Amino acid sequence: MNPPNQKPIYKVSSSFLTQYQGCSKRIQREVVERLESNSGVTSIEQLFGSALHSFREHYVRFDYFKAMDHAIGMFNQGMSNIYSIADKKAFLNEEYLRSVCNTYAALAPNRTEIDGLSVCFNGNDNTPLVEEYFSIPVIETSEFELHLSGKIDAIGIIGRHLVIEDIKTTSQSRTEMFFERFKYSPQMRIYAYVIDKLTEVLGEESPIGELRLKNKDFAVSIHACFLSKTKTTFERSNLITYSKEETTEFASILEKQLLKIASQIQDGAYAK
């Protein structure tokens, strides 16, 4: 709820932007009415990935035991929404989740040095920047504000680069082919836009903006868990970087899309 006399704030996420395809009904449901998307966790692969995300967040923030308890609890609770599991995915069970979490923990024995990435910390409260929520004002009208919002899996340093890390799980076995598609992924480009926008709007008032001002080189990295019945591995992609021209071009495309959404809300197109 917004305080009295304050304009409503409508929020769109990167996943919404890549999926809504101009659908006015989705704008009404997920942005204006703020209802949950129907496309929740309905597959064993999605559930497994969510549980692994939970383990990583709690492992870095707290400790191994709290992380494992939270991940296993999430997984078992989510199983009630999974109606069928293909035979070839049957190995994605609680025992296998424990094994994968242990493999991850072995990569990061001190919890904040993860397979080449040094996790950054919030300078205000010294908390690690994992599962970091953001909500950035991008458009303001006389009636409402439109924010770009979401979560960043982790923010850290690799070499001289400030890096946004995105965790993925996949059953695909060809690592190079899997990583290749993310270079031009809208999600990765939105992350780059978010970093620039946070720095522009909030500067050093934002932990991310403060880090960006101190680190001229910026990149995105995919940290992928390749799931297999025989051998599970974690691999990191090469750093994904964008030129100033690429960043400017994408920002123009994204902002046109956001303006279109704002216009649909303003005109009440979603109600037609």
Q: Degrees (nearest 5) of the Cα angle 79, 81, 86?
A: 70
Residue with tokens 């709007």: 201
pLDDT higher than threshold 80 for residue 230? yes
Percent of the chain with pLDDT over 70: 93
CA distances to 30, 116, 217, 262, 264 from 6, in Å = 20, 45, 38, 17, 21
pLDDT band at 166 (very low <50, low <70, confident <90, very high): very high
Nearest CA among 17, 31, 6 for reference residue 271: 31
Convert the pLDDT of each residue in 168-214 to its tens digit: 999 888 888 899 989 888 889 999 998 888 888 777 777 888 888 88
pLDDT band at 35 (very low <50, low <70, confident <90, very high): low
Instruction: Decide if 16 contacts 30 (C-beta within 8 A).
Output: yes
pLDDT higher than threshold 60 for residue 271? no
Nearest CA among 172, 169, 165 for reference residue 100: 169
Mean pLDDT of 213-221: 89
Rounded to the nearest integer, the mean pLDDT of the chain is: 88
Convert the pLDDT of each residue in 122-151 to its tens digit: 888 899 999 998 888 999 999 999 999 999
CA dihedral sign of residues 241, 245, 250, 251:
positive
Low-confidence winner among 21-25, 144-148, 228-232 (lowest mean pLDDT): 21-25
pLDDT higher than threshold 60 for residue 1? no
Q: Could you tell me where the beta strands, DSSP code E, fall in 91-216? A: 113-114, 117-119, 130-140, 145-158, 161-170
Residue with tokens 């009295």: 4
pLDDT higher than threshold 50 for residue 270? no
Convert the pLDDT of each residue in 48-95 to its tens digit: 999 999 999 999 999 999 999 999 999 999 998 888 899 999 999 999
Instruction: Decide if 90 contacts 103 (C-beta within 8 A).
Output: no
